[in-house]
Amino acid sequence: MIREVSEALRDVVHRATPDLGSWVVLHSLSQGDKTPLPENKGVLALVAVAEHPHLRNRPLVDGLTGLVRAPLSLQLAYVVTYIGDHDEAQTRLGRVVQAFHTTPVVRPPELGPPLSDEVESLAIRLLAPSADERNQVWGSLGRPGRLSLFYEVDVAPVPVLEREGRGRVREHRIDYVGAP
């Protein structure tokens, strides 16, 4: 499902920039990746996955087999850069900013199956990391820093896989007995 989110983000950029063709590719940007960096292409790289901090510990919800954990909401962190001429990189990254600013929330049918069957929406936010945070990202990738954009994408929700044979909680009770 995470790969499909990355592909959906790439598709948002491609739909917003039809004059540039298929110019954004998915790549890890890690120096350990044996795939060479593409020349004269935009690169969308997933650099972190975390549980959405504001949607943790939600109550159980009704599922097919009874009460199940609430769907998981994720936050994905991306770096977008352009491999090529610096002036062209500025132009292309400007187009990415336009694309995500124009479409900050992506819902079905733009998501397409199977992603549209699993998530309700993607919310895209431009981040402004400090110089130290940018250096940490590029350092962890083992590469010198490049002109780049940083985005956070909320994915909500990711449903629980339900299994047969689970019962239903009929009652939850806590009894307190005071001291005699």
DSSP single-letter state for residue 144: -
DSSP single-letter state for residue 141: H
User: Are the CB atoms for 67 and 74 separated by under 8 Å?
Assistant: no
- Residue-wise pLDDT for 28-53, tens only, equals 999 888 889 999 999 999 999 998 88
- Tokens 């110019």 label which residue? 23
Confidence of residue 135 (pLDDT cuts 50, 70, 90): very high
CATH number of 2-158: 3.30.2000
**pLDDT score for 71:** 76
Please state the φ and ψ torsions of residue 34, each to the nearest 5 degrees: -75, -15
Output the average pLDDT for the chain: 88
* Residue 58 pLDDT exceeds 90: no
**pLDDT score for 161:** 64
User: Are the CB atoms for 45 and 29 separated by under 8 Å?
Assistant: yes
- Would you list the domain boundaries of the chain? 2-158
- For the segment 85-104, the average pLDDT, to the nearest whole number, is 97
- For the segment 151-164, the average pLDDT, to the nearest whole number, is 74
For the ranges 36-50, 92-106, 152-166, the lowest mean pLDDT is seen at 152-166
* pTM of the complete model beyond 0.85: no
Please state the φ and ψ torsions of residue 30, each to the nearest 5 degrees: -70, 135
- Dist CA 93 CA 95 (whole Å): 5
Report CA-CA distances (Å) from 150 to 46, 104, 136, 160: 10, 14, 13, 29
